[in-house]
Amino acid sequence: MSTYVLVHGAWGGSYGFRKLRPLLRAAGHEVFTPSLTGIGERSHLTSPQVSLSTHILDVVNTIRYEDLDDIVLLGFSYGGMVVTGALEHIGDRVRDLVYLDAFVPGDGDSVSTLRGGGSPAGTELGAPWLIPPLEREYDNPEQAAFSRPRRTAQPIRTFTEPVRLAKPLEDLPLRLTYIRATADPDGAAFEAPAQHARTSPAWNYHEIATSHLVAENRPQELAALLLTLDP
């Protein structure tokens, strides 16, 4: 039996894994999908103070309070920032680190810098602190009707705060996997980490032919791939 901790992306919530969770549990595994503060199911807690560090602690505390070990830790999209930052606190509990069409930051990177934004924008006095969600494509109109109204604006500090990573990912004693959504028209931000994983012997690389919201569009295909990580 494996323990999966699945971390959702920006503007979303753990509801994005609602079709994936039962598939992994049906195979006999434990599944945890922490909700990040200020968005999704916890959008009622939003504030200008919510940051990347807040989201890292959402995940770290789930793992610590549930006393989880030997984990398959997955970060989707922005969730790649969160799981990377969590390694400083719970890295010894992670067996497999999976980036699902996600940012793969190094020490000092933020979403803003990885997207070529240079200095963080929107942090000056009086600037807007909520970033509205990007439009995303869905394979199924019914899924789109469910998910689109649930996408919420996100505090800017989650995008401008840098990650801290003491060692490069390749130097850590865990297995690295990257899963690329190959049919995403807006996926340029994830091409660089995907290309690195595709060519590096330190990474396992996989592709799923769908748009960015892989867990919502192709839960069966994603579950089958994740189940291959079972030792």
The pLDDT tens digits of the residues spanning 81-135 come to 999 999 999 999 999 999 999 999 999 999 999 998 654 444 555 568 999 999 8
Domains and CATH numbers, the chain: 3-115+126-227 (3.40.50.1820)
- Other Cβ atoms closer than 10 A to 159: 23
pLDDT value, residue 230? 72
The pLDDT tens digits of the residues spanning 131-187 come to 999 989 898 899 999 999 999 999 999 999 999 999 999 999 999 999 999 998 878
Positions marked active-site: 77
* 224 neighbors 27 (Cβ within 8 angstroms): no
Q: In the chain, count H helices and then E strands.
A: 9, 8
* 229 neighbors 100 (Cβ within 8 angstroms): no
* 221 neighbors 208 (Cβ within 8 angstroms): yes
pLDDT value, residue 1? 87
Which is it for strands 30-32 and 3-7: parallel, antiparallel or unpaired?
A: parallel
pLDDT value, residue 120? 45
